[in-house]
Amino acid sequence: MEIFSLKNQWINLLFIIRFTLLSMSSKPATLALRSNENDLLALLSLKDQLVGDSHGVLTSWNASFHCCQWQGVQCGRRHQRVVSLNMSGLSLAGFISPAIGNLTFLREVDFSSNKLQGTIPREIGHLKRLVYLSLNFNHLKGEIPEALSNCSNLQEIAFTDNNITGEIPVSLGDMKNLINLHLAGNLLIGGIPAFLGNISTLKVLSLQDNKLKGTIPSSLGKLFNLEYMYIGGNKLSGSVPPVHNLSSLLVLDAAENQLSGNLPPEIGCTCPNLEGIFIALNQLTGEIPRSISNISSLELFDIALNGFTGSVPENMGNLRNLLVLNIPGNYLGSGKPGDLSFLSYLSNCSRLQSLGINYNHLYGVIPDSIANFSICLEELLMGDNQIIGRIPQGIGNLINLDLLEMKGTFIAGEIPISIGNLQNLEGLYLGFNYLSGKIPSSIGNLSRLSNLDLTNNKFAGAIPLSLKQCTNLQKLDLSTNNLNGNIPYQLFGAFERLIYLNLSHNSFTGSLPSDMRNMKNLVEFYVHNNNFQGEIPMTLGESLQLTTLFMQKNSFHGTIPQSFASLRSLENLDLSNNNLSGTIPPELQKLHFLVRLNLSFNQLDGEVPKKGVFKNATGFSFFGNKNLCGGIPKLQLPKCFSEKPKEKGKVLSTKTIIAISISILLGSILVVLLVYHSLRHKARRGTFMPSSLFDNGCLRLSYKQLLECTHGFASSNLIGTGSFGSVYKGVLYQHEKPLAVKVLNLRNHGAARSFIAECEALRKIRHRNLLKIITSCSSIDYQGNEFKALVFEFMPNGSLESWLHEQHDQSRYLNFAQRLDIAIDMANAIDYLHHGCETMVVHCDLKPSNVLLDDHMVAHVADFGMAKLLSTVTSNIGSDQTSSSVIKGTIGYVAPEYGMSGSVSPEGDIYSYGIMLLEMITGRRPTCDLFHDGLSLHNFCKMALQEGLKEIFDVRLVEEIGVNWKRIRNKPNMEAEIWECFVSFTKIGVACSTEVATDRLRIRDAIIELHATKARLLRTGFYGRDNR
C-alpha cells in the first residue's frame, strides 16, 4: 500500500513538473498557470482520498489532460480557475479531502449520491465564493462544521440522508443568502433553532426524519419567502405556532410528531398558496379551521389519526383543486343529522381522487349528490361511522372507484344494482351493516374484484351464479347472513385464486360440490353453522395450503376423508356436531401442524390414535362419540378389544432356559467386544465427535428418535437435497414445532469433513438471521453404518430460491419491500459472521437455496458445510485439503479470485451476496443462458445502470407498478422514487460483486445503503408502513 502511495506521489510530482515547464513557454500563460497550480494540487489530493471509481471518472484526472478538462471539473473562462465540481452519482467511496478548501474559486460542489464516509471537512469554510453545496445521500457522519457560516454566499446546503449528528449549529443563522436548507434523514438532535427565523431568504426548510425535540419556534412565522416546510418524522411537541407571514408557503409537512393543541384558525388566510397540508399522526384537537376553504390551490389535506372534533366545514367544497381529503381516525361529527352535509359540497371538487372519512362519529344519510362526485374518484372510505339510510343508486356513476369501504355503519336496504358499473373495483367492504335482500347479480360484472366482504348483514336468497365471473377473488366473506339454497358447483371451479372463503352462519343446504380441486390456494375455509348434507368431498384434501377448516354444526355424513392426510399445513379442524361415522383416520396423527381437532358429537367408533394432536388432551375433543376406545390414558376411554387374547405359552424346560441364558451371555460379550473394537478404531482415526458441542442444555436425540420423527426418512418428508446429504422434515412427539433433520450421505467424498466444519462453525454462533441449530447426532444406524445428522429449526416458507424461481407456483411472489427486508436480513447475518464472532466465519457457499424464510418471512442463512474459520483455514480441520478444495462453492456465486488463490476471505462472501442481490432484482440466475461470451449477471446490471435501462428488473416487480398505476399516477414523484429504489438496490449488488475483491462494498456500508433505500421506499407509501 505504501509503494502504491509513493508511486502516486511520483506521478503527481512529474505531472506538476511537466505542467510547470509547459507554462514557461509563455509569460501570460505563466501567470494563469501559477494561479491555478493550487487548484491542481487540491484536485489531486481529492483524488487520492476517493476510491471505488466504478464509473472510471477519475481516470481522466491525469497528465494527458489539462485539469479544466477533467470529468466533473469546470473552470471559469477568464482565470481558468475551478468554479464547479460535480461528482454526483458516481458510487465514489472514501473521504472528502480537507484540500477542497484550497479551491477558493469554487461556486458549486456536488458530491451527492455516493458512498462517502468520514466527516464534512471544516476547510469548506474557506470557500467564500461557494453558492451551492450538495452532499446528499452519502454516509457522512459527525457534526455540521461551524465554519460553514463563513461561506456567506451559500444559497443551498443539501446534506439529506447521511448520518450527521449533533445539533444544528447556531452559526447557520448568519447565512443571510441561504435559500434551501436540506438536512432531512439524519440523526440531528436538539430542537429547531429559533435563529432560523432570521434567514429571511429561506424558501426550503427540510428537517424531517431526524431526532429533533421541543416546540416549533414561533420565529419561523417570519419566513415570508418560505415555500416548503418539512419537519415531520421527529419528536416535536407543543402547539402549531401562528403562521402570520407565511404567505408563500406551498407545503406544510409536520406529520408523525407529538404536536397538540389546535391548528391556527387563520391558516387559510395567512397561507393562501398552500398545496399540501400533512399533519397526520399527531395529537391535535379542536375543529378544522373554516379558513381552509380560502386555500384555493390546496391539493392534499391529511389530518388522519388526531383528535379533531366538530363538523367538517361545508366550504371544503370550494377547494376545486383538491385531490386527497384524508380525515379518518378523529372524533368528527356530532352524532346528529347534518354531519354528512359537507359531502354534497364536495361534488364541486372535480379533481378529487381519494376521500377518507372513516373512523369518526359522523351521523346521517349519504346524500344522493354523491353521484356527482368527481369521475376521478378512486378511493372512498366511509366505514365505522353512524351512517344510516341506503347506499345511493348513483354510486354507480363513480366508475373509476377501485376501493369502496362502508363497513361498520347502520346502512340498510339492498345493494343498488348500479354497483355493477364499478368495473374497476378491486375491494368492496360492506360488512357489519343492516343490508338485506338478495346479493345483486350485477356484482358479477366486477371482474377485477379481489376482496368482497358482505359479512354480518341480512342478505337472503342464494349466492348469484354470476359471482363465478369474479375470477380474481382472493377473499370472499358472506358469513352471518340469511343466505340459503345450494352452493353452485360452478363457483368452486372459478375461484382458483381464492385464499379465504367464509360461508358460515347461514342456511345453506344440499351438498358441497364434489369437485373442489381448483381451490388449491385456499388457506381458510369456513362453512360451519349451516344445513349442509351429504359427504365431505374427498377433493378438499387437494387444497394443500389449508390451515383452518371449520365444518361443524351441519349434517354431513359418511366418513372423515382419508385425503385429509394430505393437508400438511392444517392447524385447526372442527368437524363436530355432524353425523359422521366410521373410524378416525390414523393418518391425521401425521399432520404435525394440527393443534386443534374437534370431532365431538358424531357417530365415530373404533380406536383413537395416540400420536400427533391426539396426544394432547386439551387440543383434541371427542365428546358425544359413544363407541370410541383407546387413545392416551388421560382421555379415560375404554380399552379396545380388537386383538385376540394371547394363548398361554407352555412352561419351558430347565435345559431350554439354561441354553437361552448362555446364548444371551455370549451375545452380550460379543457386542461389548465389537463396540470396544469400533471405539479403538475411531480413536486411531482421530474422529471428531461434534455432538459434544451441543450437550450444554440442548436436546439429545438418538438415531431411533430421528428415524421415527421423519417416518423412516420418508420421501414424503424430504424437503431438500445438497452436495453432502438430504434434509427431512420431522416432528418430535414431545414438541409441537417441526424440525429440519440434515442427514449426511457419508458415501460422498467430503461429507464427513463437511459435518465437522458445520459443527465447528455453528458451535458458538447465535444470531436472529442464522438458522438455529438444535442438536447433532453421531451414531450407528440399524445396518451398522456410521450415521451423522444435524437438527435445525424448521423454516416453513422454504428457501429464497423457491420464491424467486418456482414459476409453477404463482402464489409465491415477493414484492420489492419483502426482497429489501430479506436483503437486509442476509447482510446482518454476514456482518455478524465476519465481525460479530470470536473467530471470523467465512460461509463460502452463499446462494438463494441456502437462505431460508420463517413464518414471518425473516431470512436465515443456512448450510455451513463449506464454512471456514478464518484462523483455521490451514489448520488441522482441513489439513488434508489441497488449496483447490477451498474454492468449492456454487458456480455463478463463487468469487472469481477463488479460482486463482488457495485462500478464502470475507470479500468472497460479499461477492456471493452481491450476486444474490442482482438475482433478486432481475429474477435471473447467474447461470442463465443469457450470460455467455464474457457477459455475466454483474456486467449485465452494470451496463444497464450506465444506460438507464429498466428492462433488467424482474418483470413481476415491473408488473406490480403497472397494476398500481392508477394509485400512483397522480402522486408527485412516487413512481420515480420507486424506480430509484430499484436502481439503488441494483447499485448495491453491483458494488458488492466487483471483480477486484478490494473494491467491493463493505458489508456494513451495504447495510447502511439498504436501510436508506428502505426509508426512501417507505416514504413513498407504495407498500404501506413497515410491517416488521
Residue 883: pLDDT band with limits 50, 70, 90: very low
SS3 891: coil
Q: Which among 845, 909, 954, 1005 is annotated as catalytic? A: 845
C-alpha cell read off for 390: 341506503
Contacts of 380 (CB under 8 A, 6+ apart): 355, 373, 398, 401, 403, 404, 405
pLDDT at residue 778 is higher than 60: yes
Question: Highest mean pLDDT range out of 604-613, 678-687, 778-787?
Answer: 604-613
| pLDDT for res 37 | 83
Q: Known binder of ligand: residue 553?
A: no
pLDDT at residue number 944: 87
The percent of residues above 90 in pLDDT, for the chain, comes to: 55
> What pLDDT was estimated at residue 699?
64
3-state secondary structure of 1024: coil
Counting beta carbons within 10 angstroms of the beta carbon of residue 2, is it exposed (0 to 12), middle (13 to 18) or buried (19 or more)? exposed
The answer, yes or no, to whether residue 885 has pLDDT greater than 60, is no
Mean pLDDT, residues 164-186 taken together? 95
pLDDT of residue 682 exceeding 70: no
- Mean pLDDT to the nearest integer, 196-216: 95
Task: Residue 284: name the closest of 263, 314, 256 by CA.
Answer: 263
For the ranges 271-275, 729-733, 805-809, 907-911, the lowest mean pLDDT is seen at 805-809
pLDDT category at 1001 given cuts 50, 70, 90 is: very high
Quote the DSSP letter at residue 113.
Answer: S
Q: What is the mean pLDDT of residues 61-88?
A: 91
Report whether pLDDT(2) > 60.
Answer: no
Q: Which residues contact 677 (CB under 8 A, 6 or more apart)?
A: none
Paired residues of 404 in beta bridges = 380, 428
Nearest to 883 by CA among 874, 872, 875, 892: 874
pLDDT band at 413 (very low <50, low <70, confident <90, very high): very high
Contacts of 810 (CB under 8 A, 6+ apart): none
Strand partners, 284: 261
Lowest mean pLDDT among 181-190, 546-555, 558-567, 927-936: 927-936
Q: Decide if pLDDT at 758 tops 80.
A: no
Please compute, for residue 786, the number of CA atoms within 13 A of its CA located in the half-sphere on the CB side: 16
The three-point CA angle 901-905-910 to 5° equals 115
SS3 of 298-312: the string is CCEEECCCCEECCCC
Residue 720 has pLDDT above 70, yes or no: yes
Q: List Cβ neighbours of 905 (8 Å cut-off, separation of 6 or more).
A: 842, 870, 897, 997
Q: How far apart are the first and last CA of the chain?
A: 43
Strands (E) across 702-820 are located at 718-721, 725-730, 739-744, 773-780, 786-793
Burial class for 585, CB neighbours closer than 10 Å (0-12, 13-18, 19+): middle
Q: Determine the pLDDT at residue 617.
A: 77
Mean of pLDDT values over 285-309 = 94
The pLDDT value recorded for residue 661 is 58
Rounded Cα distance between 123 and 144, Å, is 12
Are 763 and 693 in contact, with CB atoms under 8 Å apart? yes
Cell digits of residue 481: 347472513
**pLDDT at residue number 976:** 79
| Best-predicted range by mean pLDDT (48-62, 419-433, 517-531, 942-956) | 419-433
C-alpha span between 359 and 353 (Å, rounded): 19
Give the 3-state secondary structure of residue 574: strand
Q: What phi and psi, each to the nearest 5 degrees, are found at residue 114?
A: -125, -160
User: What are the backbone dihedrals phi and psi of residue 174, each rounded to the nearest 5 degrees, phi first?
Assistant: -90, 0
d(CA 752, CA 656): 47
The predicted model gives 881-894 an average pLDDT of: 61
- Which residue ranges form the domains of the chain, and what is each CATH number? 313-485 (3.80.10.10), 511-520+535-640 (3.80.10.10), 685-794 (3.30.200.20), 800-1028 (1.10.510.10)
pLDDT tops 90 at residue 984:
yes
Give the 3-state secondary structure of residue 568: coil
Q: Give the relative orientation of helices 1003-1020 and 906-922 as an angle to the nearest 10 degrees.
A: 20
Q: Is 845 a catalytic residue?
A: yes
Residue 677, pLDDT > 90, answer: no
Query: Which region among 109-118, 493-502, 556-565, 862-871 has the lowest average model confidence (pLDDT)?
Result: 862-871
Mean residue pLDDT of the chain comes to 84
List C-alpha distances in Å: 181 to 100, 226, 548, 769, 1015.
21, 11, 55, 39, 20
pLDDT in tens, 633-661: 888 889 987 544 444 444 445 555 555 65
653: Cβ contacts below 8 Å, ≥ 6 apart = none
Kindly tell me if the per-residue pLDDT of 878 is higher than 90.
no
Q: Report which secondary-structure segment, H or E, holds 956.
A: helix 955-963
Using DSSP's 3-state secondary structure scheme, residue 506 falls into coil
Q: What is the pLDDT of residues 959-983, one digit of tens each?
A: 777 766 555 555 556 777 888 899 9
State residue 792's pLDDT score: 86
Q: For residue 935, report the phi and psi dihedrals to the nearest 5 degrees.
A: -90, 125
Query: pLDDT class for 54, splitting at 50, 70, 90?
Result: confident
Residue type, 85: L
pLDDT of residue 697: 42
Taking alpha carbons only, the member of 775, 689, 792 closest to residue 737 is 792
Q: Which residues contact 931 (CB under 8 A, 6 or more apart)?
A: 937, 940
Residue linked to cell 450421505: 745
The 10s digit of each residue's pLDDT in 582-641 is 999 999 998 988 988 999 999 999 999 988 889 887 788 888 898 999 998 888 889 987
Helix (H) or strand (E) holding 12: helix 2-23
pTM confidence score: 0.61
pLDDT number for residue 176: 93
